[in-house]
């Protein structure tokens, strides 16, 4: 479950605390930003016996800043899961959400920025899982809500390392396999720990 990644959150919390006393001129403008990277994924769906399955994959996101403190974003994550009771399978998340940055970030004109800026994200999630075996294929679709914390570590005025965690609660709408489609109203839980690079334009 999500719980298996909670011990990683101390990194995000520590970076958040260290950044609260920064003062001077902001450099995140009302423009677009884009990024990508690597993520670790974990999820549980008891109804079909997917319990605490883990994997990893790639993440992409594009956003529009409304202000230095707030922006909208869309994201696409694709994960390959390695389960003990089956072959590997694929999970895809599509997010549309809001990112709220906690404080202003500042830097000196004579030196590139190398400062942490923490954020909170919440999103609407579309979820799809495809488990292809030799003679059958199981597909699970659903939607839900994601929330999480992270921080940008700025390497310069436009480039930042992005470290963040987002947990999701997903209501499964449909389970299909062997040409049979079944409605479902059960919940699945997911967690994504992301490490990537974001460019601010």
User: What is the pLDDT, as a whole number, of residue 60?
Assistant: 96
CB 100 within 8 A of CB 69: yes
- pLDDT tens track for 154-190: 887 788 899 999 999 999 988 887 666 576 778 899 9
Spatial separation of the C-alpha atoms in residues 46 and 43, rounded to whole Å: 10
* Residue scoring higher pLDDT (45 or 21): 45
DSSP SS3 for 177: strand
Which uninterrupted H or E stretch holds 12? helix 9-18
pTM: 0.76
Spatial separation of the C-alpha atoms in residues 148 and 191, rounded to whole Å: 9
CB 80 within 8 A of CB 88: yes
Give the C-alpha distances (Å, rounded to integers) separating 122 from 7, 61, 99, 162: 20, 14, 7, 16
pLDDT of residue 83 exceeding 90, the answer is: no
pLDDT of residue 58 exceeding 80, the answer is: yes
User: What is the pLDDT, as a whole number, of residue 138?
Assistant: 82
What domains does the chain contain, in order, with CATH numbers? 2-200 (2.40.160.20)
Which uninterrupted H or E stretch holds 159? strand 159-177
């Amino acid at each position: 479950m999500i719980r298996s990644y909670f011990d990683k959150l101390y990194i995000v919390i520590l970076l958040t605390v260290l950044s609260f006393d920064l003062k001077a001129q902001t450099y995140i403008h009302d423009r677009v930003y884009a990024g990508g990277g690597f993520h670790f994924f974990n999820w549980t769906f008891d109804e079909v016996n997917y319990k605490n399955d883990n994997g990893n994959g790639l993440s992409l996101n594009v956003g529009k800043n409304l202000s230095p403190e707030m922006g909208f974003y869309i994201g696409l994550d694709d994960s390959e899961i390695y389960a003990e009771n089956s072959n590997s399978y694929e999970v895809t998340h599509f997010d549309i959400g809001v990112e709220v940055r906690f404080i202003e970030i500042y830097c000196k004109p004579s030196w590139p920025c190398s400062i942490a800026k923490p954020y909170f994200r919440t999103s609407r999630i579309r979820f799809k899982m495809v488990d292809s075996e030799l003679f059958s294929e199981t597909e699970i679709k659903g939607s839900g809500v994601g929330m999480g914390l992270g921080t940008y570590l700025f390497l310069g005025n436009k480039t930042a390392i992005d470290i963040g965690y987002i947990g999701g609660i997903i209501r499964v709408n449909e389970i299909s396999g062997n040409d049979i489609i079944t409605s479902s109203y059960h919940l699945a839980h997911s967690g994504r720990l992301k490490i990537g690079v974001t460019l601010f334009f």
